C-alpha cells in the first residue's frame, strides 16, 4: 500500500507551519497564553532567535482517519490553509517522504513568500498516533524567482492521537486530539515583532479551519489511510 505524503502546511499571514523536533530537557517550557473554542494556545522562546514558537492543542470530533485524510489531501489544501495559493511536490522520496513547494499570498505591499520543505509521515500504533513533520531544505527543482521571498521552516508538526472527549451531559465523543507546532522565519524585511504578533493567532485559526474542513459533507476517509492504520492495528 502506497501512501503518498503531499505538501502539508499551515499558514499565518506571513508564514505556515513547519518541521517538528522533539523537545529537549533544556528547551524552554510552553506557556499557555490563551484558550478559545476549546483550543489551547501556547508560546515559548526559541534559543538563539527572536521568533517565538507556537503550539495549539484541540479535540476534533472526527476519527483519526478523517483528520489524516484531510492533511494528505494536497489538491484541496488551498480550501483551508490560510493564504496558500499553490502547492506542488518537487520530488517523491519514498511512500512517506517528499520535497514540496508552497506559494503563500501576503498582504500588499509585502512580497509573497514561498517555502521549499521536506515532509515526513510516521505512525506509532502503540500510542494510536500519526505524526506529520516538515522542515525547510534546498532542492534543484525549486522555482527561482524575484517575485517571492523564500521563507524558512525551522520546526513544526501535526500530531494526531485517537482520543475521547467527556461532555458536560456525561456522554463521551470519540475523535482525534490534535497538537500543532510551528517555528517559522518568513525572512525578508518584516520586523520580528510584527511576525510574532500576527502569528499569535495561528493556533486558533489552524484548528478552526481544520475542524471546518473535516466536517464538510464531501470529505471522505482516504482508503490508503484506512488500509495503513488497519494493517498497523490502530483499531484493535
Helix axes 202-214, 64-71, angle to 10 degrees: 110
- Cell numbers representing residue 184 in the block: 517559522
The predicted pLDDT at position 186 comes to 81
The pTM assigned to this predicted structure is 0.86
Q: Taking Cα atoms as reference points, which of 82, 88, 114, 113 lies closest to residue 100?
A: 88
Rounded Cα gap, residues 226 and 235, in angstroms: 10
- Cell numbers representing residue 167 in the block: 461532555
Give 30 or 18, the one with higher predicted confidence: 30
SS3 163: strand
Q: Which residue has the cell 495561528?
A: 202
10 contact partners, CB below 8 Å, separation of at least 6: 16, 17, 81, 82, 156, 158, 180, 182, 202, 206
Rounded Cα gap, residues 232 and 218, in angstroms: 27
pLDDT at 16 over 50: no
114 DSSP β-pair partners: 103, 150
Q: Taking Cα atoms as reference points, which of 163, 207, 162 lies closest to residue 181?
A: 207
Rounded Cα gap, residues 54 and 43, in angstroms: 5
pLDDT in tens, 166-207: 999 999 999 999 999 988 888 876 656 556 666 678 899 999
The predicted pLDDT at position 34 comes to 93
DSSP H or E run through 228: helix 223-231
DSSP state of 82: T
Q: Taking Cα atoms as reference points, which of 71, 82, 101 lies closest to residue 5?
A: 71
DSSP H or E run through 65: helix 64-71
The predicted pLDDT at position 195 comes to 61
Rounded Cα gap, residues 98 and 209, in angstroms: 24
Amino acid at each position: 500500500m502506497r501512501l503518498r505524503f503531499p505538501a502539508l502546511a499551515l499558514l499565518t499571514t506571513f508564514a505556515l507551519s513547519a518541521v517538528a523536533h522533539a523537545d529537549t530537557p533544556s528547551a524552554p517550557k510552553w506557556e499557555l497564553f490563551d484558550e478559545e473554542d476549546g483550543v489551547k494556545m501556547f508560546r515559548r522562546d526559541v534559543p538563539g532567535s527572536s521568533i517565538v514558537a507556537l503550539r495549539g492543542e484541540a479535540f476534533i470530533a472526527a476519527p483519526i482517519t478523517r483528520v489524516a485524510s484531510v492533511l494528505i489531501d494536497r489538491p484541496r489544501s488551498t480550501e483551508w490553509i490560510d493564504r496558500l495559493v499553490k502547492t506542488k511536490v518537487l520530488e517523491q522520496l519514498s511512500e512517506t517522504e517528499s520535497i514540496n513547494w508552497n506559494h503563500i499570498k501576503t498582504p500588499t505591499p509585502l512580497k509573497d513568500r514561498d517555502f521549499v520543505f521536506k515532509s515526513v509521515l510516521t505512525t506509532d500504533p502503540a500510542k494510536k498516533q500519526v505524526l506529520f513533520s516538515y522542515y525547510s531544505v534546498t532542492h534543484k527543482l525549486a522555482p527561482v524567482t524575484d517575485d517571492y521571498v523564500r521563507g524558512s521552516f525551522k520546526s513544526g508538526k501535526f500530531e494526531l492521537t485517537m482520543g475521547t472527549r467527556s461532555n458536560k451531559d456525561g456522554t463521551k465523543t470519540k475523535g482525534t486530539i490534535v497538537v500543532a507546532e510551528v517555528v517559522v522565519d518568513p525572512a525578508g524585511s518584516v520586523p520580528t515583532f510584527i511576525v510574532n504578533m500576527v502569528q499569535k493567532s495561528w493556533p486558533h485559526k489552524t484548528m478552526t479551519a481544520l475542524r471546518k474542513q473535516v466536517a464538510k459533507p464531501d470529505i471522505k476517509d482516504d482508503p490508503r489511510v484506512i488500509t495503513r492504520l488497519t494493517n498497523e492495528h490502530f483499531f484493535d
